[in-house]
Amino acid sequence: MIEKIYTIPVNEVFTAKPCSCPLCAMKERFEQDRIDYVLGPALMEPDVRTATNEKGFCPRHYAMLFNSHKNSVGLGLLTNTYIETVQKKLSGGMRHRSDKDLAAALEKMNSSCFICDQLNFTMDRYIDVIYWQYANDKDFRQLFREQDGFCLEHFRQLCARAKKGLPGKMKGEFMNDLCNVQSRKLAELQADVDWFTKKFDYRYKDEPWNNSKDAVQRSIQFLKGKVELN
């Protein structure tokens, strides 16, 4: 396969053929890298601290920062200066804005996240790289056809940007391969879930479970991406 600095993260995950969405695997890697960065080198970078004070973190990434238990003091410092920023905005807002304006400002603050912004930008670039490799690297095209499927959100993103991201002659081939990968995985999951439900029927109680014991969990994670299931 073609090896360039920007293809390495994509090649590593696609070659590993994770039994879940490869884009989810890349997302998880990048998120963990950002968690380590925010609680490490970023604490000493004034421009990053300015950005984290302004944007804060979404509930998911705040929980990941806390649950990492890697730098409780650092997370405390980030939280302290973020609270100061929020307090200043609210103090100024309550003096000069209507209740509607203040609510809009609060909504904007509550919907921003330093890690989400970086994650969204990077995932868009990963998709661009996938298109480029599919169009220019026959080995990657074959590897793409051998994947185990994509979660519905990343499947949607790959479909939505294919027209813009691929040459016209490649778009049809890409969409055909993408849909074949997806249909194959959906058929496999549906068969496993169907058998899982049948095992609760007395007529099938002595039959083997085959690959169905965790079929519901695997299906949820395939449909909705990597989610924590207890």
Q: How many CB atoms lie within 10 A of CB 34?
A: 20
CA angle 113, 99, 53 (to 5 degrees): 25
- Render pLDDT for 142-169 as a digit per residue (tens, 0 to 9): 999 999 999 999 999 999 999 999 998 8
Could you give the CA distance from residue 194 to residue 105 in angstroms, rounded to a whole number?
48
Q: Cα 50 from chain centroid? A: 25
Contact between 26 and 13 under an 8 Å Cβ cutoff? The reply is: yes
Contact by Cβ (8 Å): 220, 227: yes
Q: Which amino acid is at 7?
A: T
Rounded Cα–Cα distance for residues 105 and 98 (Å): 11
Q: Can you give the pTM of this predicted structure? A: 0.85
Tell me the pLDDT tens digit for each residue of 64-107. Answer: 999 999 999 999 999 999 999 888 877 765 555 666 777 777 78
Mean pLDDT of 100-117: 82
The token duo for 8 is 């390495």
pLDDT at site 230: 66
Rounded to a whole number of angstroms, the CA Rg of the chain reads: 22
Q: Domain residues of the chain, as ranges?
A: 8-224
Alpha carbon distance 12, 9 (integer Å): 5
Percent with pLDDT over 90 in the chain: 71
Average pLDDT over residues 193-197: 95
The band of 59, judged by pLDDT with boundaries at 50, 70 and 90, is: very high
Query: Between the CA of residue 24 and those of 49, 119, 201, 205, what are the distances in Å?
Result: 28, 12, 35, 36
pLDDT band at 226 (very low <50, low <70, confident <90, very high): confident
Q: Which residue in the block uniquely carries the two structure tokens 């912004």?
A: 117
The residue type at 137: D
Percent helix, strand, coil in the chain (nearest 5)? 75, 0, 25
